[in-house]
Structure formats: C-alpha cells, structure tokens
C-alpha cells in the first residue's frame, strides 16, 4: 500500500493541472491521488464534504497527506476530518506550497515514503528553489524546518564541506549529462523512483552532487527529492557525482549483527552496484537525447538584453525628450532589431507609459492591520479578475490571451506569497508589488520564452496595484488618430484590445516572434519591430516609419519615404485578394506564394490569394520550448498548415537554426562567427535525429492531409550535402526535394545541385550578406545589405541561367517588393513567396508586366553601378 494524497484548491482547473503535472513525474505505479476543488456549480471555493470524500477515497491504511492552496481551503480540510468514516485514520494537513508540494509528495509517496516522510518532503518543496535563488529563510524556526527536511532527505543542497561527519560514503561515480536540459523535473522524478527502489532494497541513501553555477560550491541533493535535484540547475555536458551513503550508526549495527554478516566490503559492493544503476540511467539521457530541447533563439537574447532589470523595481519609461539635439534623430535597422509583424507604415508616435507608480517601501506611520490588508488584496484581485473575464474581445486568439491573463491574476499563489509580507506590516499594494516584481525578474533572467512571460506578470502586478490605490490601470493610448505605439512590450490583455484602424504600427523595446504581442500584431496586420535602441530614442510626437519586413525604424523619415509608406499601406488595405492568373501578362507562369509559420498565416495567405506557400518556416514550432516538439506535436502543427494548401504548392523548410537563430540543442554555445558557423543543414552533422524526426513528421502530415509537400534544406553549400539530404528525404517518402541557395558556393554549382534535387529557393537575405561579406545584423554595414546590389543581382542571374528553366524560387524579403519581384522574374526566378499581406500587390504587379519587360529591367539593374542606380533603372523601365 501507499500513502494517499488529496489536493484541496479553490480552483478545479488549477488542482487538476497540478495533479496531471505531478503524475507525469511517475513512470511506475501511481499513488492514490484525489482532487477536491471548486464548487459544485463550477465556481471558485472549497467544500468540506468533498474534501472528506476525497480523503476516504485515497485512504488505505498507510495514511493521507492533504495539500491546500490557501485561506478557506485550510478550514475546509480541517472540518473534513470531522466527517471521516474512520476517525482514527492518519491524516496530515501540510503547510506546503501547493504545486511544488504536490509534486514532491507524489514522487515521495510513489517511492514508498511513509506519511511523515511524504509530509516533510512536501513542506520542504521550496527549499531547493530558495537555495538556488539565495533566498533561504534565516529565522530560527525556518532553520529548524530545514534541518528536519535535511535529516529526512539526506542533506538537501548542503555544501559538501558541511556534511555530517557521521555520514559514510560507500561508493560514488561521476557521469556527464547528455540530455540537453539536464536533471529537470522528469529526469529527477525517474531518479527518485529508482533511488526509492534501491533504498528499500539496500537501506542506503543516494545523493547527486553538482557545482553550483553562481557560487562554485559543490551542492548535494538527495535523489529521493526530485525538486531538490531539479534545483541544482544542471545542463547538458555538466558532470555530476552519484553517491551511496550510510550512517555510522547503521554501519556499526551491521557489523554487530552476527545474523546479517554485513561487513564493509559487502556494503561497498552492494553500494557500487546500486550507484552503477543510477549512473546508467543518467548516462542513458532519460530518453531525451533523441528529442533535444529547443532554445528561444534570437528573440530571448534581444529581450533579455533590452532590459536586464525588467521587473526589478519601478519602471522608468524613457520619453525620448532628453535626446541631445545634436544627436541625429534618424535611425535605421540596428543590430538587435527584429521584425515580428509585416508591413510598412508611418505615423506620429505615442509612447505607452506604465501609469502605476511603485508603492512606497517605507512602513506607514501606523502599521496596517494584516487581516485588513489581506482582505483588501483579495478584493482587488477579485476585481481585476472580473474586469478581465468580462472584457469584450472578438478575436478568438485574443480572447484566449485575455482569459489566460485572468487566470494568472486569479492564481492563489499571489496572496499566498504575499501573506508573510502582510504579516510583518506591509500594505497590500507593497506586498503584491514585491511578490510579482520578483517573479517577473526571475522570468526575465531565465531567458527564452519564459522571459517573454515577464510582461504578463508585470501587467497583473500593475492592474492589482492600480485597483488598490485608485490609479488608472495601464492601457493603450487613444489619441484619436492613427499612431505608432512605442512600448517596452505590451501586456497580452492590452495587445488583445488593439484597434488596427488606429494603432497601425509598433516599436517595442523587448519581445519577439513568439510573444503574445507579436502573435496578436500579426493576426491584426499591425506592422511591428522589436528594436531596443529605437525604443529608447523615440518621443511622443515624433514622426516614425516602421517596416516589419526589413526590421527598419526611421525616426523623422523624409516626405518621400512617408508618402511611399502611406501609399503602400493604403494599397494593401484597399487591394482585393489576388485572383488573376499567377503569370506575367504574356502568360509566363510565376508562382505567387505566401511565407507562413503557422496555420493562421496559411489561412491568411489563402484569403489574400496565394496559390500555396513557398516557405513554411518550421523553426517557429521549436522556438521558446524547454523540450523539443515530439513527433506527434510536429505532425499536428504541419498538418494544420498543410490543410490549407490541398491541391496547392507547399514548400516546407527543415529546421533553420544557427547564426541569428541560435537553438542551444543543436548549435554551439560560443562560436567566433556564428554566421559562418554551424547553422541550417550543418546542424544535422551532430544531431541527425532532429532532422530525421522532422522528416518523419512531414511525411506523416502529408499522408494525413493528402498534400504533396516540397521539402527543402537550408544553408546547403556543396553537392555532397544536397545529395545526402535528397537521399534522406526520399527515404522518408518525400519525393519533391530542394535546397536553399544562400551562399555564392551553392549559387555557382546550381546546375550540379539539380543532378540530385528538384528545385532551389534563393534566400536573398543570406545570399546578400555572404556575397557582400557584410553581416546583415551590423548596422554600420546596412548600406551593403540590400538585394539591389548589382553583384547580388548578377549572382541571382547566374542561378537562373544554371537552372535552365527548372523551378527557382525566392522566399526572402526581396520577393515582397513589387518592383524587385519583377526584376527577379527577369533574372530567371519563377516562384515568389512573401508575407500574406503582400500577395495582392506583388501578384498584380507581375500579372500586369510582360516577361520581356522584366528581363529588360533585370539586365539594366545588373549593369548599374550602385543599388540606388539599379532600383532607379528598374523603376524607369517598369514604372
């Protein structure tokens, strides 16, 4: 039998989610676990009778541990004891963090822990996190609690030098971690399960030691505590030492017990065998080595760098008003700029300032009553949740984001974490400010997609504080005319109510393509660029031009630039979907396709008249994850996109990682020159399983949808690479195989590439930077990084000549320019892929121009002396 566990919460979805998460930690027999949460009508609350029934359900004679979230849940649990059919049943209601405590209790119960051990493990569930963050409690009471926890869990995280002298190490072994995310929750749970079995069989305690990342101390965690193990913060390639220990008293007893005859040698041998089993499990990678974890790519680095102190104190918005008059106001694409939503627009800037001021940290003259402040906080949280839940949002995706913010505001951990601060005399507003500011700072420091969630936390903080203090809640400016919004980032609840008729563009200080802001901006067609430098320099009232395709932000654009942007935006808004033949005016066939990253992009592309997709960026499936998408997850994502292209062309690019899109699970941590390093197809040399899993998923999605995909590999430089990829793709049943031509090396052997593949697609962004030997992220070299460079145009012309009429596409930003797109057709390109919004404009331009005119303009541009001259000559010939 096993100790039973009951989770009591005000929120049924929260309790069920915590239960499901906890049970994922267990691979073997699960302990009895019941949920008593919410009210009968689906609302928030707790019911003593339901708690009593849950306890009776899991009680089997070994005792029951009850975890509660807060307030009345404790009262309901205590009252439930009076209703139990067996008044002598052993039930422990523990003061433990709800989620972490439940995970710890479930794992310890599953490994055979007694009711006391399960209860103590739950109560100590935060110690690993507190130690890792340097926030261990210093009071004597807290120290005693930690001592009890350490006693039962073999010195959780104690420095090695401070271990008890009575502990005797019998055997140890060091192993290098191969799974990308190290000993995170699931591997830690597997270790706990095995350690529990070995502990039962041998009586030994098992620990794992690793170097602390910040202090350099060697820290130790008991393998029976998955939270302690996970809190070591290990990663791939870290070395950890597994040890089996016993106490001096047990060793002496073993020597004295003649019936057992357990001498030291026998103990050491048994310990070594047990340690070997644990090391073998670690060395196997826990099954994760085949599904490497994904990093956040370019976005997280920019977001973290944009505001290293995000959430760590009062937000101080830069107004731009202090800009030195001698400093040039004009700004173009900067090294850290990222285009996150397509479009080219211009308007007056409006800065979004956080209207909520930080509550004073100094105690009030009269100490607030903790009970009163607790009630104030709960009432404010309830009001904010109600405001969010009743907000009218028409877009389903936006509505889901607002709902998620409401759930975050309703999280019972907020008042739970604020309670100790209220108890020492802080006001409700100060307590919640500190709790959520610390949480936002931790999110920002973590990087990746978690860093993007810091904005959500700060938004909830500001809304609660505004409700408590009577300040206006944060919100979008309403100047009454079209404007460019300038903000560090937008909270999802604000982004969801953006009006694209007035907010036509955004300049953000942090964020990225996977942030809520970017998702909604793309859905609404609002041009957006993340540019920390431009964000700092723009003042309310500045005229700004935003180009989400090229990631350019112009402060004080010329009249000509403003006119062009307005015409472009108006044309896009007014143009009907492209319905004309995908061909030149003389009938030369040119595919007009859309670049997509997800199903919503595909739907928009079809709506705007695209005849398929020329670039399905599969890397968006990998960004911001702590584990790589499984085969089934990828099949689902790819199928959702392909569903929109039944009977149409669908070009899928395999994972394009590296350079400005680093993913830690396939790209080196530190490369001298990432642009010339391990990127694109080259990542498959060391991680072939990532590519093969993706090809399996693409093939399965094709079979499920009936679509025949064209699959291509990025960053191919040699004929050998092309042949290898083609062979691998066809082994998976994918017959239409191509490669990206992004280097001069590949461009010059295009004819040889076609001996192994069916098509090529030109990545004009990379082809330009490699042809011009100019990093496209280097601001000072921006003048070189334009596809209008005559050298680049000649390189494309050579690709067209060597292809000799076979399929040649362009899927870089060059294809979205109606003038340049026609020049590309004249150079031999017969497939153009662009952002969905540009499809009507480019499609119509091509359809109204003859192939002969395209060729004349292309030749003139190639013979020009400069990029500007090339554009001018093309414009003169094509109008």
Supply φ then ψ for residue 477, to 5 degrees: -60, 150
Our answer to whether residue 212 is catalytic in this structure is no
CB 390 within 8 A of CB 481: no
Tell the residue number behind the tokens 């003389």, with chain if given: 586
Q: What number of other Cβ atoms are within 10 A of residue 353's Cβ?
A: 17
Classified as helix, coil or strand, 617 is strand
Q: Active site residue: 10, 157, 184, 516, which one?
A: 516
**Cα first-last separation, the chain:** 83
Query: Which 8-state DSSP code applies to residue 292?
Result: P
Whose CA is closest to 271, among 355, 356, 198? 198
Q: Rounded CA gap, 668 and 683, in Å?
A: 9
CA distances from 791 to 333, 717, 863 (A): 22, 19, 9
Buried b (16+ CB within 10 A) or exposed e, 324-347: eeeeeeebbbbbbbbbbbbbbbbb
Q: Rounded CA gap, 620 and 759, in Å?
A: 23
Query: Which 8-state DSSP code applies to residue 160?
Result: G
**CA 328, 332, 334, 340 torsion-angle sign:** positive
636: left (phi over 0), alpha (psi -120 to 50) or beta: alpha
Cβ-in-10-Å burial (0-12, 13-18, 19+) of 673 comes to exposed
Q: Rounded CA gap, 19 and 8, in Å?
A: 11
Using H for helix, E for strand and C for coil, what is the string for 433-458? HHHHHHHHHHHHHHCHHHHHCHHHHH
Our answer to whether residue 586 is catalytic in this structure is no
Q: Rounded CA gap, 172 and 158, in Å?
A: 17
The tokens for 659 are 């350079």
Q: Active site residue: 621, 811, 854, 862, which one?
A: 811
DSSP letters for 529-588: EE-HHHHHH--TT-EEEEETTTTEEEES--HHHHHHHHHHHHHHHHPPP--S-SB-TT--
Query: Which residues are marked as active site?
Result: 516, 811
């Amino acid at each position: 039998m096993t100790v039973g566990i009951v989770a009591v919460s005000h929120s049924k979805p929260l309790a069920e989610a915590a239960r499901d998460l906890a049970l994922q930690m267990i691979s073997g027999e699960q302990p009895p676990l019941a949920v008593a949460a919410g009210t009968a009508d689906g609302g928030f609350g707790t019911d003593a009778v339901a708690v009593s029934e849950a306890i009776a359900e899991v009680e089997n004679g070994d005792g029951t541990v009850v975890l509660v979230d807060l307030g009345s849940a404790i009262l309901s649990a205590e009252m439930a004891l009076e209703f139990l059919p067996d008044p002598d049943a052993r039930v422990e209601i523990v003061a433990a963090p709800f989620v972490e405590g439940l995970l710890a209790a479930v794992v310890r119960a599953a490994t055979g822990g007694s009711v006391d051990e399960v209860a103590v493990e739950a109560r100590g569930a935060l110690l690993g996190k507190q130690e890792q963050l340097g926030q261990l409690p210093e009071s004597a009471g807290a120290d005693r609690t930690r001592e009890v926890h350490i006693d039962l869990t073999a010195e959780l995280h104690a420095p090695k030098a401070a271990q008890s002298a009575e502990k005797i190490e019998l055997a140890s072994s060091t192993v290098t971690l191969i799974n990308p995310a190290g000993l995170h929750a699931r591997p830690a749970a597997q270790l706990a399960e095995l350690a529990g079995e070995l502990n039962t069989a041998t009586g030994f305690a098992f620990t794992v030691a690793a170097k602390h990342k910040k202090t350099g101390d060697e820290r130790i965690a008991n393998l029976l505590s998955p939270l302690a193990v996970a809190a070591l913060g290990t990663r791939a390639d870290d070395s950890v030492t597994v040890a089996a220990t016993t106490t001096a008293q047990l060793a002496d007893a073993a020597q004295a017990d003649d019936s057992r005859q357990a001498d030291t040698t026998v103990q050491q041998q048994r310990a070594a065998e047990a340690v070997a089993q644990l090391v073998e499990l670690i060395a196997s990678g826990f099954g994760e080595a085949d599904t490497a974890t994904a990093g956040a790519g370019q976005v997280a680095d920019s977001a973290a760098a944009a505001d290293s102190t995000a959430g760590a104190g009062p937000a101080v918005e830069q107004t731009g008003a202090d800009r030195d008059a001698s400093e040039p106001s004009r700004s173009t694409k900067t090294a850290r700029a990222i285009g996150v939503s397509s479009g080219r627009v211009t308007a007056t800037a409006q800065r979004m300032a956080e209207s909520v001021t930080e509550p004073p940290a100094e105690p009030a003259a009269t100490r607030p009553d903790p009970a009163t402040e607790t009630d104030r906080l709960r009432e404010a949280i309830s009001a904010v949740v109600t405001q969010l839940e009743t907000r009218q949002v028409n877009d389903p995706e936006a509505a889901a984001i607002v709902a998620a913010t409401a759930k975050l505001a309703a999280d019972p951990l907020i008042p739970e974490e604020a309670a100790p601060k209220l108890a020492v005399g802080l006001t409700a507003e100060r307590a919640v400010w500190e709790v959520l500011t610390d949480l936002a700072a931790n999110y920002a420091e973590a990087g990746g997609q978690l860093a993007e969630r810091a904005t959500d936390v700060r938004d909830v903080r500001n809304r609660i504080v505004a409700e408590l203090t009577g300040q206006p809640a944060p919100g979008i400016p309403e100047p009454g005319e079209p404007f460019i919004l300038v903000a560090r980032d937008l909270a999802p609840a604000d982004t969801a109510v953006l009006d694209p008729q007035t907010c036509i563009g955004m300049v953000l200080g942090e964020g990225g393509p996977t942030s809520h802001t970017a998702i909604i901006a793309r859905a609404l067609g609002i041009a957006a660029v993340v540019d920390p430098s431009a964000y700092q320099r723009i003042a309310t009232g500045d005229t700004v031009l935003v180009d989400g395709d090229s990631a350019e932000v112009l402060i004080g654009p010329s009249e000509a630039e403003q006119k062009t942007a307005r015409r472009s935006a108006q044309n896009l808004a007014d143009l009907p979907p492209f319905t004309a033949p995908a061909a030149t005016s003389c009938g030369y066939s040119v595919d007009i396709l859309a670049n997509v990253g997800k199903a919503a992009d595909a739907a928009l592309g079809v709506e705007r008249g695209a005849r398929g997709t020329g670039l399905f960026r599969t890397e968006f499936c990998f960004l911001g994850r702590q584990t790589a998408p499984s085969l089934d997850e990828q099949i689902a994502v790819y199928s959702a996109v392909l569903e929109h292209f039944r009977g149409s062309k669908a070009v899928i690019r395999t994972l394009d990682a590296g350079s400005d899109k680093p993913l830690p699970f396939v790209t080196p941590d530190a490369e001298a020159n990432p642009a010339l390093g391990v990127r694109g197809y080259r990542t498959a040399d060391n991680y072939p399983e990532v590519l093969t899993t993706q090809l399996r998923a693409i093939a399965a999605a094709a079979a499920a949808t009936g679509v025949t995909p064209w699959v291509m590999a990025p960053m191919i430089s040699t004929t050998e690479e092309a042949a290898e990829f083609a062979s691998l793709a066809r082994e998976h049943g994918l017959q239409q195989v191509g490669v990206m031509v992004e280097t001069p090396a590949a461009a010059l052997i295009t004819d040889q590439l076609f001996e192994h593949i069916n098509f090529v697609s030109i990545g004009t962004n990379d082809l330009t930077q490699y042809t011009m030997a100019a990093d496209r992220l280097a601001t000072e070299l921006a003048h070189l990084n334009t596809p209008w460079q005559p050298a680049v145009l000649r390189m494309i012309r050579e690709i067209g000549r060597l292809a000799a009429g076979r399929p040649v596409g362009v899927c870089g930003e060059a294809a979205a320019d109606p003038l340049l797109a026609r020049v590309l057709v004249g150079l031999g390109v017969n497939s153009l892929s662009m952002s969905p919004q540009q499809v009507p404009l480019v499609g119509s331009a091509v359809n109204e121009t003859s192939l002969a005119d395209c060729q004349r303009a292309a030749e003139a541009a190639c013979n020009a002396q400069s990029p500007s001259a090339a554009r001018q000559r093309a414009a003169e010939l094509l109008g």
